[in-house]
Amino acid sequence: MAVGAANPVAYHPVPGFQLGTASAGIKTAGRKDLVIMQAQAGSTMAGVFTANAFCAAPVHVCRQHLATDEPLVLVVNTGNANAGTGEQGMLDAKTTCAAVADLAGVPTTQVLPFSTGVIGETLPIERLLDALPQAYGNLSACGWQNAAEGILTTDTRTKGASVKVKLSSEEITISGIAKGSGMIRPNMATMLAYVATDIRLSPVLTQQLVSETSELSFNRITVDGDMSTNDSCILVATGASGVDLVAGSHDYALFRDALIALMQQLAQAIVRDGEGATKFISVAVTGGANRQECLDVAYAIAHSPLVKTAIFASDPNWGRILAAVGYAGVPDLDVDTLTIHLGNVLLVANGGRAPCYEEEAGQSVMDEKEIGINVDLKRGTCSETIWTTDLSYDYVRINADYRS
């Protein structure tokens, strides 16, 4: 189940970037579950990864390779996270890189591996290795849709975005795919995301942009508050357009805004496809003294099982929202001045239920598939918005049956 219509993506090929997909039968026979992506020589790559201390073997290898070389090839498997697998997991990740490097004719350190799926099970490495030549043979600049399918796990639909951006001298392309449905929490979420552009970026600027844009997109979503072991977001700049991007320029601002918008589109698609989700919820906190207290309030609401289950039931039990704001940990919070809205309906003012509030109005908002919760702390000028889902019976069913 997903919230909202699934809109087909018309992917624009990114010059200098190709994608190939195959089926290795890692978990399910015949399912697309192996993807290789290759950028042309001279491209730059950078990434951000999970903050989980038990990060998966491929995350360790990605960090090592990015620190020591300039990678050009990505390899992704689904169905198995290769996490919690100790020395064998590291060996399997490195073996995968070596096999892909042989196919691509590059050093092993120029390959970045990624895995997603069940934690704690050894990667079926022989099946993966056997399917690599097929995936590499399928490399195509038009391989985005197949790759979007090949990186899915419990997702019910693909997640992609693609735009053309008119800069001062040239038009450039940004295209991206992502996966994620459950175990979604910032820093980062159980998600993989790959975004490519044909603009030319320095390694430093590539890292700066992927860090900044991920913070405003993938680090602003949550489904269940659980942080995965495998999260990764990679930005690839092929330079094939010949357009150099200089920090602080007008073109830089245009490109950064377009990249943020594309990243947010992918991030919100993950939330809309959250495991068992029936509602898409925006939690906006304004009037904060600083960004962190805005985020603290937003996540207190978004992570509350009581709030999430009330929204699933379309129950305007606004007291649960009020309670979450109160325990968010904002110092010296003046509850007599803040306000809470559900959509455009004022719920809380002057320290309690707003005199104008009527249950019918709250019910009308709760009956919608897309719901906004807005809190004005009235303490300053900072604001933050995050996106989340309700918590349904299907969420429990999906995760209870995950390994079966």
pLDDT class for 191, splitting at 50, 70, 90?
A: confident
What the block records as the tokens of 150 is: 């090949």
The secondary structure of 158-173 as a DSSP string is -EEEEEEEE-SS-EEE
Q: Do domains 17-272 and 280-400 have the same CATH topology?
A: no
| CA atoms of 403 and 119, how far apart (whole Å) | 10
265-274 burial: b if 16+ Cβ within 10 Å, else e: bbbbbbbbbb
pLDDT for 57-101, tens place per residue? 999 999 999 999 999 999 999 999 999 999 999 999 999 999 999
Class of domain 17-272: alpha beta
CA distance 377 to 150: 43
pLDDT surpasses 80 at 19: yes
Pair 235, 206: CB distance under 8 Å: yes
Three-state DSSP class for residue 231: coil
In 3D, which of 50, 167, 38, 198 has the Cα closest to residue 119? 50
Are the C-beta atoms of 192 and 232 separated by less than 8 Å?
yes
Given a cut of 70, whether residue 184 has pLDDT beyond it is no
Which pLDDT score, from 0 to 100, does residue 170 have? 92
pLDDT over 60 (residue 188): no
pLDDT at 12 over 80: yes
CA distances from 383 to 221, 256, 325, 332 (A): 15, 20, 15, 18
Give the contacts of 201 (CB within 8 A, at least 6 positions apart).
44, 209, 237, 239, 245
CA-CA distance, 201 to 247, in Å (whole number)? 10
State the catalytic residues.
Answer: 190
Least confident of 76-90, 125-139, 174-188, 226-240: 174-188
What's the rounded mean pLDDT across residues 6-12? 89
**What single letter denotes the amino acid at residue 162?**
S
All residues at 6 or more sequence positions from 402 whose CB lies less than 8 Å from its CB, including other chains:
118, 154
Neighbours of 105 (CB within 10 A): 8
Provide the CATH number for the domain formed by 280-400 in this structure: 3.10.20.340
Averaged pLDDT, 189-218: 92
Q: What is the pLDDT of residue 231?
A: 82
φ/ψ of residue 338, rounded to 5: -70, 160
Phi and psi at 206, nearest 5°, equal -60, -45
pLDDT of 226 higher than 90: no
Return the H-helix or E-strand segment holding 35: strand 34-39
Q: Does the pLDDT value for residue 182 go beyond 60?
A: no
Q: What is the pLDDT of residue 325?
A: 98
Dump pLDDT digits (tens) for 124-163.
Answer: 999 999 999 999 999 999 999 999 999 998 788 999 999 9
Whether the pLDDT of residue 172 is over 60: the answer is yes
Strand order in the sheet with 352-353: 352-353, 345-349, 339-342, 370-376, 280-288, 382-389
- Give the mean pLDDT of 376-385: 98
Confidence (pLDDT) at 61 = 97
Render pLDDT for 341-372 as a digit per residue (tens, 0 to 9): 999 999 999 999 999 999 999 999 999 999 99
pLDDT in tens, 329-340: 999 999 999 999
When pLDDT is cut at 50, 70 and 90, the band that residue 228 belongs to is low
Query: Domain-by-domain residue ranges, the chain?
Result: 17-272, 280-400
